[in-house]
Structure 1
């Protein structure tokens, strides 16, 4: 799930990325990986919540209208966001999720 909050004082959108418990399944760790962090699998680990969900909040520059991203489960399995703003063919193994700001 994506939640967006646009800042009035700067060209920034705070985006909350949240993976529900049912989507997280039995993952022990999930990383948020995408254009915003140079596709670095270590740069943005998501926070595990007590209710079984995972979350991360990023401040994204609205000057770039969209960002591609995916979730990396336990360092080995790629997943898309079920409620992304769109999807783009990634040329590797399917599609990437898109968040538009």
Structure 2
């Protein structure tokens, strides 16, 4: 699930990413355009029945991303705004931040 909330002046969009707890046993990272695809930069926190994190992203942009799960596999977000092909022959999730 992806939810978006703008700050009052709309200079930042807080994007909450949430995936089901059963997707991972140990850890989930999110990597994408916003962190140079660094799998150590942004870890999701396990809360009850879900993994979640909140990113602070600039409006009027689109960001490609994927989840890196348990240090071994990549997954897309089921609720991404769209999906685009990548150079590995699969697809990346995209979140679009309006103005």
Do these two structures clear the TM 0.5 threshold for a shared fold by scoring above it? Answer: yes
Corresponding residue for residue 17 of structure 1: 17
SS at match of 2:40: coil
Aligned equivalents of 1:100, 1:76: Cα separation in 2: 27
Asked if 1:61 is matched to 2:58, the reply is: yes
Structure 2 segments unaligned to the other structure (5+ residues):
none
Residue 34 of structure 1: aligned partner: 32
> Scaled by the length of structure 2, what TM-score is found?
0.91
What are the ranges of 5 or more consecutive residues in structure 1 without an aligned counterpart? none
What's 1:72 paired with?
68
Provide the aligned C-alpha RMSD in A: 1.3
Question: Which of 68, 91, 95 is the equivalent residue of 2:87?
Answer: 91
Q: Number of paired residues? A: 97
In proportion to residue count, which structure has more strand?
A: 2
Q: Structure 1 stretches (4+) deviating beyond 4 angstroms?
A: none
